[in-house]
């Protein structure tokens, strides 16, 4: 039986442009990479190199300061600058700029590990920490923190291969072409958490990936590959947990509190690279697509490659682009500067032409159709939240559980009156947090 979570929408998938295209290496390596020191949730990393230093691929260039994951050089060359540069989040971020020497010299520390079977759980966690693995699906939570906080609490491991956002096919191709990395990576994580079993959840619009992983698992009983009914936001951690285990994560709680631990498919592959190949997280697969690029592609690129370079690799802009988005159309960030670079969580560069922009209304009028209520995956009533938020009645908006909103955008997607609900909720949340901070 296909499994479901509550609510959700099914936007046009648009995956056909890239889902049959193999992952490509860059045709031309970037001459310069700009690696932000904040590609994860938590405190930004502290740069440990300075201008003029020579670095090799995989060399540590930013160490953690508090919660976080270390950062490594993604190309070999010379450090050109350590300074704030535009970030995908819209604010300048401290970054390390490296001029590529095109030699691809790999740090001598990065070599395949022998005897991986002998590693203890704690050793695996340490390797994952030192390799800078983070969640690669969007939020970027440090993987080692997730694992160590779940040891003893979690009873279910879930690999998130849902990739529910339209357009994106990076994880899809990864699961299809490098299934062995996913399976290998899951087994390392199972060992680290000392659990005998894991699920891999994949939406049923990627049945070839499901078949591929099933074939790789073979007769082994330790991994269940689960096809899921295609619906957005399946890839949201809590919704995936609900779809696979029927458990609901209470508000303000973590998946570990209901015994689950969820890892993105790309993260799992990165864990495999780190543990078996000794390679830290320095590159990732990203989809460059949309109606405003000439040749949509799945690329594997070093972290810090600029959006401009990625778009060049996809044949450049087709016509006039109207919006460039870092991430998918439902939760991604619109960018205004093409010099921003991809980080650990950049799974997509989406270029939309004017025709593909969402419908807007000059005078949006709520008709109380309650479609938003029926699609909200966390049982909210956006119609009332919006009403109170629009009148700046924050406390009432809070009573209607505004703070439980995860900004998945389902309500705004479905809204026939084209009300900018998510924007309204973000503003309201910000105001409520500020108010709370003042007290």
Partner 1 sequence: MEQYKLSVASSPHASSPVGTKNLMRDVLIALVPALVMGVWVFGPRALTMTLVSVLFCEIFEYGYCKLMHKPIPCGDLSAAITGVLLVFVCPVTIPYWMVIIGDFFAIVIVKQLFGGLGTNFLNPALAGRAFLMLSYPVPMTTWVAPGKANWVSMGSVGADITTGATPLSVDFMKSGILPQVNGADASLADMFIGNIGGCVGEVSAIALLIGGIYMIAKGVIRIRIPAAYILTVAVLTLLFSRAPEGVSSVTWMLYEIFGGGLFLGAFFMATDYVTSPNTPKGEIIFGVGAGLLVVFIRYFGGYPEGVCYSILVMNICVWLIDKYTMPKRYGVTAEMRKAEKEKAKAAKKAAKEGSEA
CB of 395 to partner 1, least distance (A): 15
Which residue intervals of 341-420 are DSSP H helices? 371-375, 382-390, 394-399, 410-414
CB of 331 to partner 1, least distance (A): 5
CA pair distance 153, 332, nearest whole angstrom: 32
Q: In terms of CB distance, is 175 or 385 closer to partner 1?
A: 385
Q: In terms of CB distance, is 22 or 315 closer to partner 1?
A: 315
Return the half-sphere exposure (C-beta side, CA atoms, 13 A cut-off) of residue 47. 21
CB of 19 to partner 1, least distance (A): 18
Which residue intervals of 54-198 are DSSP H helices? 121-130, 143-150, 170-177, 179-193
- Nearest C-alpha neighbor of 76 from the set 94, 61, 87: 61
Q: In terms of CB distance, is 104 or 339 closer to partner 1?
A: 339
CB of 104 to partner 1, least distance (A): 25
Beta 46-47 vs 333-335: how paired, if at all?
Answer: unpaired
Q: In terms of CB distance, is 141 or 232 closer to partner 1?
A: 232
Write the CB contacts of 212 (distance below 8 Å, at least 6 apart in sequence).
175, 176, 179
CA pair distance 78, 43, nearest whole angstrom: 26
- Edge to edge, the sheet with strand 32-36 lists 32-36, 92-100, 77-86, 54-55
Residue 122 class from Cβ within 10 Å (0-12 exposed, 13-18 middle, 19+ buried)? exposed
Residue 320 class from Cβ within 10 Å (0-12 exposed, 13-18 middle, 19+ buried)? exposed
CB of 82 to partner 1, least distance (A): 24
What are the distances in angstroms from CA 87 to CA 36, 65, 102, 340? 7, 19, 25, 5
CB of 333 to partner 1, least distance (A): 7
CB of 369 to partner 1, least distance (A): 4
Q: In terms of CB distance, is 161 or 321 closer to partner 1?
A: 321
Q: In terms of CB distance, is 174 or 258 closer to partner 1?
A: 258
Neighbours of 390 (CB within 10 A): 14
- Nearest C-alpha neighbor of 134 from the set 181, 64, 199, 29: 64
Q: In terms of CB distance, is 84 or 250 closer to partner 1?
A: 250
Q: Are 357 and 366 in contact (CB under 8 A)?
A: no
Q: In terms of CB distance, is 1 or 336 closer to partner 1?
A: 336
Q: Are 27 and 312 in contact (CB under 8 A)?
A: no
Q: In terms of CB distance, is 176 or 383 closer to partner 1?
A: 383
Which phi and psi (to 5°) does residue 203 adopt? Answer: -70, 150
CB of 172 to partner 1, least distance (A): 19
CB of 332 to partner 1, least distance (A): 6
- By the criterion CB under 8 A, which residues form the site for partner 1? 6, 9, 11-12, 166, 238, 248-251, 253, 308, 311-312, 317, 320-325, 329-336, 338, 350, 352, 357-359, 361-363, 365-370, 373-374, 377-381, 383-384, 400-401, 404, 407, 409, 412-418, 420, 422-423, 426
């Amino acid at each position: 039986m296909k499994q479901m979570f509550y609510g959700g929408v099914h936007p046009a998938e648009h995956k056909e442009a890239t889902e049959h295209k193999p992952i490509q290496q860059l045709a031309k390596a970037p001459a310069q990479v700009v690696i932000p020191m904040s590609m994860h949730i938590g405190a930004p990393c502290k740069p440990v190199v300075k201008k003029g230093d020579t670095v090799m691929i995989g060399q540590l260039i930013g160490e953690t300061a508090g919660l976080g994951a270390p950062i490594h050089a993604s190309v070999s060359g010379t450090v050109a600058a350590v300074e704030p540069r535009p970030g995908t989040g819209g604010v300048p971020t401290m970054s390390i700029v490296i001029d590529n020497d095109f030699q691809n010299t790999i740090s001598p520390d990065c070599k395949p590990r022998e005897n991986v079977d002998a590693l203890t759980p704690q050793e695996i966690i340490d390797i994952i920490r030192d390799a800078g693995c983070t969640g690669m699906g969007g939020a970027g939570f440090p993987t080692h923190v997730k694992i160590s906080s779940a040891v003893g609490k979690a009873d279910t491991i879930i690999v998130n291969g849902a990739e529910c956002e339209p357009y994106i096919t990076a994880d899809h191709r990864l699961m299809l072409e490098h299934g062995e990395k996913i399976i290998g990576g899951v087994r390392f994580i199972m060992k680290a958490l000392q659990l005998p079993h894991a699920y891999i959840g994949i939406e049923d619009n990627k049945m070839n990936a499901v078949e591929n992983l099933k074939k790789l698992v073979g007769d082994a009983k330790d991994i269940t590959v689960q096809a899921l009914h295609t619906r957005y936001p399946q890839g949201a951690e809590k919704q995936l947990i609900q779809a696979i285990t029927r458990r609901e994560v209470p508000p303000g709680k973590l998946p570990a509190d209901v015994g689950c631990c969820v890892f993105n498919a790309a993260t799992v592959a990165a864990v495999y690279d780190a543990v078996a190949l000794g390679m830290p997280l320095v590159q990732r697969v990203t989809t460059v697509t949309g109606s405003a690029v000439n040749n949509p592609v799945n690329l594997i690129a070093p972290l810090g490659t600029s959006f401009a370079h990625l778009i060049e690799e996809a044949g450049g802009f087709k016509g006039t682009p109207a919006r460039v988005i870092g991430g998918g159309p439902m939760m991604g960030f619109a960018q205004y500067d093409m010099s921003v670079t991809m980080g650990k969580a950049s799974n997509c560069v989406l270029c939309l032409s004017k025709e593909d922009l969402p419908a807007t209304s000059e005078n949006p009028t709520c008709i109380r159709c309650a479609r938003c209520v029926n699609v909200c995956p966390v049982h909210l009533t956006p119609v009332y939240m919006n009403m109170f938020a629009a009148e700046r009645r924050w406390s009432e908006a809070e009573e209607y559980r505004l703070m439980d909103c995860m900004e998945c955008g389902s309500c705004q997607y479905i809204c026939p009156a084209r009300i900018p609900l998510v924007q309204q909720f973000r503003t309201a949340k910000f105001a409520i947090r500020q108010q709370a901070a003042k007290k």
